[in-house]
Amino acid sequence: MKLFDPCCSEPTFLLLLRADQGANNILKYLAGVYEMEKVIGILGGMGPLATVDLFQKIVLRTEAKTDNDHIHIIIDNNTKVPDRTDYIIHAGESPLNYLIKSAVKLEMMGADVIIMPCNTAHYFYDEVTAFIQIPFINMIEEAAKEIKKDYKGSKVGLLSTEGTSKSGVYDKVFERHNIEFIKPDERSQKYVTEIIYAVKKGDKNPDKKGFLKLLESMKSEGAEVFTLGCTELPIAFQYMDIREKYIDPTDILARRAIEFVGKRVVDAGRRQLY
């Protein structure tokens, strides 16, 4: 049986991942965790380009003049995590044990904090945090705090996967922060889904007519700013050169992680690598 076999029953799974504290400390020592500066762990792979986007934003937004000024980052780009929307909408394979595996692995490798560039996967946030002993920055909570600060009183247009929309992951947080928001109806959601999965399959020039009509429709319903509630959407907006006013939770997460480890955040402008 593999040490990190996600198919194990939960008690065995936890036992294998945790081993004993002595072994855990040895692994951390070998990974070089006992250093002065804090380490960021990225629970990635959902999707790979969204993981690259978060990593890139951390690099571009960190004040640094040399390689050594940058942050030590450990990335688990696990592309085998089952589709989160498929689980939420169609009762497909659960991604939970895969997420737990990655989170615990990052902690054992020396991460001081975990961040996850997938909005829909935050559906499992509470269950994953129960298995780790280090902070796990919640991207959706951080986005809501920034919206409350910078767009107080504005109506927000929420764009996301169908899984995020139907699970209410953002709804609960927005309601708790008294943020007024609207979402696409079921018929219009398909345009958002098409754009998201176009990015996942590497299409840099997707058909955007329906999507642009949706944005105009949501603005006519009062949306003053859009929240890009899927980590592929900031990439899509870059590809399609969409200049609407929007909130990028990936960028917010990057900034919060930089601040957590004690570095200074700088303006990245519109520089992109992809």
Please tell me the distance from the alpha carbon of residue 234 to that of residue 195, in angstroms, as a whole number.
11
Catalytic residue selected from 104, 230, 235, 253? 230
Please tell me the distance from the alpha carbon of residue 2 to that of residue 208, in angstroms, as a whole number.
44
Contacts of 160 (CB under 8 A, 6+ apart): 119, 120, 170, 183, 192, 229, 230, 233
**Of 143, 75, 84, which Cα lies nearest the Cα of 114?**
75
118 is catalytic: yes
**Where does residue 26 fall: left (phi above 0), alpha (psi -120 to 50 degrees), or beta otherwise?**
alpha
- Sheet containing 181-182: order of strands: 181-182, 156-160, 225-229, 246-247
**Of 147, 207, 205, 206, which Cα lies nearest the Cα of 177?**
147
7 is catalytic: no
Catalytic residue selected from 43, 118, 121, 218? 118
Please tell me the distance from the alpha carbon of residue 26 to that of residue 128, in angstroms, as a whole number.
23
Number of residues assigned to the chain:
274
Residues labelled as active-site residues: 118, 230
